[in-house]
Amino acid sequence: MLYNKRHARTEVPKDRFNVEAFYHPDADRSGSMNLKGGHYLKEDIATFDARFFSISPAEAKSMDPMQRILLEVVYEAMENAGITLADLDGSDTGCYVGCFTDDYDGLLKRDMELSPKYHSVGIVPAILSNRISFCFNLKGPSLTVDTACSSSLVAVHLACQSLRAGESRVAIVGATNALINPEIHVGMSNMHFLSPDSTCFTFDERANGYARGEGMAALILKPLDAALRDGDTIRAVIRGTASNQDGKTAGMTLPSKDAQAELIQTAYEQAGCDPAATGYFEAHGTGTAAGDPIEASAIGATLGKFRGPGEEGKLFVGSVKTNIGHLEGASGLAGLIKAVLSLERGVVLPNLWFEKGNPAIDFEGWRIRVPTEP
């Protein structure tokens, strides 16, 4: 999909909500949204093999689709890693899940008389992680992380810390996002966060907001020496992680160039990596007119300054959001997986929709460029 420059953009599926009932071209119109699409899973999110996980039909009905699908994705990740259920059964494996939406809760609360029996445990954010620990009998730390768009990468950071501290032998990191209700679309549209084209025009002059996307992802993390000892399938090595906060900026939702630059520098120092050796940077890259230049400036300040002369010397910068939209709480893990695929195949994957650069981005001075072909 990424190599062939495909995307998952589509109109809002009719089984989610009637988009025509909420659409209006004016983003400032209360109760309306000025977009009709996003990036949705093709699979039916209502289907779930409950018996495989020893979950009763009544309880499965109460479970948020994000819980259901994430359970399946975690199992698939274990298969991919060559780890069996018996390997982790009763172990101190930790579970860290990034997420910040709860659409299913709002859906169930619309008519409390019809609320299913297990509603209270089917929609609680804490259960996203603890359901995994329960189903697979994992006894390490289990927590759901909500730091908005950075949720899943902060989950990775916490998981790595747990492994380094020795409190977990293995760590599962998951992330999930499902778009079921119109409420968040409406609220974000009214605040001019979302693209009326339902497209992330990342680093492009057409950047006009981000496009929402659905997705679930999971990683299995182990200390490198343990993975080598156990003969596990090793897809990539995380050399270092870091986390910080913007502090007080011009607005609650506006990022800080200095904070982002400090974070990049700290991560490189933690990893012991040479910034000059970086060939590609997978950016957050939401496709907002204000956010893209701030992030690009931070990348230029920390990595661009080490680049060589000419166009060939510039650092490649891209974002998977151009393919699958902004998965919000799950977006960081999606970008990390794209970076792993790029490393495995030895190719810089293309950034979609890029035609003419955002005029607020100094591509020459910051020594960065956007790949449009693999």
**Number of independent structural domains in the chain:** 1
Whole-number pLDDT of residue 112: 76
pLDDT tens digit string along 167-208? 999 999 999 999 999 999 999 999 999 999 999 999 999 999
Q: Residue 177 and residue 139: Cα distance in Å, rounded?
A: 25
The CA angle 303-305-309, to the nearest 5 degrees, is: 115
Q: Residue 291 and residue 256: Cα distance in Å, rounded?
A: 9
Range in 116-130, 153-167, 277-291 with the lowest mean pLDDT = 116-130
pLDDT at 74 over 90: yes
Q: Does residue 374 belong to any structural domain of this protein?
A: no
Q: Residue 350 and residue 193: Cα distance in Å, rounded?
A: 24
Whole-number pLDDT of residue 108: 85
Q: Does residue 4 belong to any structural domain of this protein?
A: no
Q: Does residue 125 belong to any structural domain of this protein?
A: yes
CATH number of the domain that 297 lies in? Answer: 3.40.47.10
Residue 114's pLDDT band, with cuts at 50, 70 and 90, is confident
Are 174 and 97 in contact by the 8 Å Cβ rule? The answer is yes
Whole-number pLDDT of residue 113: 78
pLDDT tens digit string along 305-319? 999 999 999 999 999
Residue 223's pLDDT band, with cuts at 50, 70 and 90, is very high
Helix residue ranges, H only, 237-330: 257-271, 291-302, 321-324
- What average pLDDT does range 256-265 have in this prediction? 98
Q: Does residue 90 belong to any structural domain of this protein?
A: yes
Whole-number pLDDT of residue 11: 98
Q: Residue 318 and residue 73: Cα distance in Å, rounded?
A: 25
pLDDT at 52 over 90: yes
Residue 111's pLDDT band, with cuts at 50, 70 and 90, is confident
pLDDT at 238 over 80: yes
Q: Does residue 247 belong to any structural domain of this protein?
A: yes
Q: Does residue 1 belong to any structural domain of this protein?
A: no
Q: Does residue 3 belong to any structural domain of this protein?
A: no
Q: What range does the domain containing 46 cover?
A: 9-369
Whole-number pLDDT of residue 26: 98
